[in-house]
Amino acid sequence: MPMNIDRLTEMFGLDGKSAVVTGGSRGLGYMIAGGLLDAGCRVIISARKVEQVTAAAGQLAARGPCEAIPADLSTPEGCEALAAAVAERWESLDILVNNAGASWGAKLDEYPVDGWRKVIDINLGGPFFLTQKLLGLLRAAARPDDPARVINVASVDGMKHITVNAIAPGPFDSKMMAFILDNPKARAALAAEVPLGRIGEPDDLAGAAVYLASRAGSYLTGATVPVGGGLACAD
């Protein structure tokens, strides 16, 4: 049976959609932003460092309309500032990808208070307060047959006609994984632990994000999608 390209485009295409991707200057956020652009979105990426996020937006612009808005999402005020900047540009928002995050490596009995606060503020506070501040724009885009989408590293809550799902990435080339993946022996050892036998590639992550953001994923909410080559399912 011949493939119906128009039907596939209708299911998975994102032409005309708008998306905000936090932590979009590198790593997982950059991969997701690229996938959304390839699918037809206009994208705003945000990150704390001005030069990095501006350069990333310039690179991504070769794939579609992409703009950088620097923001520190570790505070409610930073989230509000980003939401206000988005509202100045767009009247509605179809897709919010809460990807910005931080890690702090330390033993349990040595874990510092400032490290704990940094991780909690950006990893939990950022997604919650940014989603809160962008609710008006998300609701403006939301329809029963085509919900607005929130895609989180950790899910927050469900809202009417706005799906909330989480992507749980396995090993990908990113700053958080660099301490392992930049070491050839450690990289090979980690890849050997993955049932599919390799480290994740940009298309693997982007494909999952595009599915959650597309018409094909409009009836999925409250789910966590493990994108780790089977690592989450391994014994």
Q: What is the mean pLDDT of the chain?
A: 91
Amino acid 212: pLDDT: 95
- Per-residue pLDDT tens over the stretch 10-52: 778 899 999 999 999 999 999 999 999 999 999 999 999 999 9
- Per-residue pLDDT tens over the stretch 62-95: 999 999 999 999 999 999 999 999 999 999 999 9
Question: In this model, does residue 155 exceed pLDDT 50?
Answer: no
For residues 10 and 141, which has the higher predicted lDDT (pLDDT)?
141
- Per-residue pLDDT tens over the stretch 87-124: 999 999 999 999 998 888 888 889 999 999 998 998 88
Amino acid 233: pLDDT: 62
Maximum CA extent, the chain: 61
Q: What is the pTM of this model?
A: 0.83
Model confidence at 156, pLDDT cuts 50, 70, 90, reads very low
Question: In this model, does residue 234 exceed pLDDT 60?
Answer: no
Amino acid code (one letter) for 133: K
What is the 3-state secondary structure of the chain?
A: CCCCHHHHHHHHCCCCCEEEEECCCCHHHHHHHHHHHHCCCEEEEECCCHHHHHHHHHHHCCCCCEEECCCCCCCHHHHHHHHHHHHHHCCCCCEEEECCCCCCCCCHHHCCHHHHHHHHHHHHHHHHHHHHHCHHHHHHHCECCECEEEEECCCCCCECCEEEEEEEECCECCHHHHHHHCCHHHHHHHHHHCCCCCCECHHHHHHHHHHHHCHHHCCCCCCEEEECCCHHHCC
**Are 17 and 42 spatial neighbours (Cβ–Cβ below 8 Å)?**
yes
For residues 209 and 234, which has the higher predicted lDDT (pLDDT)?
209
